[in-house]
Amino acid sequence: MPVLYCLLMFLILFVDTLPFLSDIVSISNMFLSDNQVDYSSSYENIFVPSDNNGDTVDASDVDFPGINKQFGELNIKGRGVSSKLFFGDGAVPLRNGVGIYAGSFIPGYGKTILVAGHNNTYFNGLKNVEKGDIVSIKTSYGNYEYKITKTKIAGDGDKTAYDLSADKENLVMYTCYPFDELGLTQKRYFVYAEKVSGPEIVGLYD
């Protein structure tokens, strides 16, 4: 009878923890494995480096990215931030790099670009940034630079931390806070930057 009871309790515990096992294994692999997990088969890469540093690019020449597509690269020189840039901020983009929230805009649109990344991987280096640092974004249709103006810590549900209706192009990057803490936290670390250079997409509404 005691053996049967133990087996029954073990079965109940196993069933209760089953939904969390994949997350636990993923996190363990991320920190214990010497080999980086390759998720490249999960997404399409449409990024081809461009030499367009001009003032404009025609909308007809822009390959607008779909969800989970890599269409660029984001770098902050000397700050430990160097990542693939995706459209969308779900599991596939954030496993492989950083992602633009689909309710915001892509570079060149003249609006807010809201970019998310994990605090213990691709956006861990945000803790090193300083006012005046340059954020470089390369896309297939043009190259962009943004100057960091400030940083801010806000609650995870604070919608006032960014403005998606802004009428000028600006970059907002964010990650969970404190840095290096595992899992979702109750605070977010925001980095704000204003556009310095890069082509405006024209002919969007023609």
**Residues catalogued as catalytic:** 118, 176
Residue 139: exposure state from Cβ atoms within 10 A (0-12, 13-18, ≥19): buried
Other beta carbons less than 10 A from residue 80's beta carbon: 14
- Count the residues in the chain: 206
Distance of alpha carbon 108 from alpha carbon 141, whole angstroms: 9
H helix and E strand count, the chain: 2, 11
